[in-house]
């Protein structure tokens, strides 16, 4: 990734805005363009500055954060909702949210989000967009006339990244221009396990299940509440 990622904060609570600024200041490649308390002000700032990232609350005056993101119609590459309300998560992902973080904001959760942002923009900046399809016991990754054959056993996990899917293998990773749901349809259910809205893992590569995380070799991935019971059954 070259240069910096520019972000805008929209939250009607001053302390919450300061919390985001404090966490973001720990990452030199993040550059704050502005911070505002009202969604209508944010619309003007987005049109003026064209930020890469929008950190936005949901329940605000006049219009909600979800309505704000919807009105921007894809102008923001990575909208991230930071809210006290878990009940809007599904609606936020319908607006192509990059992430959904519950308050109070913790350094660990923010760091995980920023690392995903860095990887996403780094791959995006390289303009590598692969197509992928399954062929028997392999996943064929295609770029132009070149093809890369990946054994399914070498795939560690898949991660949703908006219109792309990140395929992480034992030797590297690829950003595939295929939706997460489209990739899942091609994978055998008996070999790949959904652990989160944004993650599917190779069952054979799981090395530990601890608390709210799954370890896939050296990678630590979050497990959402709805998939915990399935995992507990497997690891009994």
How sure is the predictor about 46, in pLDDT bands with cuts at 50, 70 and 90? very high
152-175: average pLDDT: 88
Could you tell me which residues are beta bridge partners of residue 99? 80
CATH number (domain holding residue 151): 2.40.50.1020
pLDDT at 159 over 50: yes
What's the pLDDT at 140?
Answer: 83
pLDDT in the model for residue 11: 97
pTM as predicted: 0.64
Domain boundary among 105, 125, 145: 125
Taking Cα atoms as reference points, which of 156, 164, 162 lies closest to residue 214?
156
Per DSSP, the residues of 57-87 read: -SS-SSS-HHHHHHHHTT--SEEEEEES-GG
Q: For 95-119, what is the mean pLDDT?
A: 92
Structural domain for 60, as ranges: 5-125
Name the average pLDDT for the chain. Answer: 88
Position 204 pLDDT exceeds 80: yes
Distance CA 60, CA 167 (A): 36
Higher pLDDT, 235 or 181: 181
Residue-level pLDDT at 127: 46
- 119 and 194 fall within a common domain: no
Mean pLDDT of all residues in 163-187? 86
Considering the chain, what percentage of its residues have pLDDT values greater than 90? Answer: 53
Is 14 found in the same domain as 120?
yes
Number of domains in the chain: 2
Least confident interval from 68-82, 109-123, 131-145, 151-165: 131-145
pLDDT of residue 176: 83
């Amino acid at each position: 990734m070259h240069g910096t990622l520019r972000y805008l904060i929209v939250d009607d609570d001053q302390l919450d805005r300061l919390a985001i600024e404090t966490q973001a200041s720990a990452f030199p490649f993040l550059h704050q363009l502005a911070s505002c308390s009202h969604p209508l002000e944010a619309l003007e700032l987005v049109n003026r500055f064209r930020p890469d990232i929008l950190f936005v609350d949901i329940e605000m005056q006049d219009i909600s954060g979800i309505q704000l993101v919807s009105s921007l119609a894809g102008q923001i590459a990575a909208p991230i909702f930071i809210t006290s309300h878990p009940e809007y998560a599904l609606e936020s992902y319908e607006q192509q949210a990059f992430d959904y973080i519950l308050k109070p904001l913790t350094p660990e959760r923010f760091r995980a989000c920023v690392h995903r942002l860095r990887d996403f923009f780094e791959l995006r900046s390289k303009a590598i967009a692969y197509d992928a399809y399954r062929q028997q016991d392999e996943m064929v990754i295609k770029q132009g006339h070149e093809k890369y054959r990946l054994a399914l056993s070498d795939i560690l996990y898949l991660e949703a990244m908006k219109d792309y899917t990140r395929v992480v293998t034992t030797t590297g990773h690829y950003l595939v221009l295929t939706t997460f749901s489209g990739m899942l349809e091609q994978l055998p259910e008996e070999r790949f396990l959904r652990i989160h809205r944004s993650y599917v893992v190779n069952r054979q590569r799981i090395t530990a299940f601890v608390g709210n995380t799954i370890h896939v070799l050296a990678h630590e991935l979050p497990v959402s509440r709805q998939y915990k019971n399935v995992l507990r059954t497997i690891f009994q």
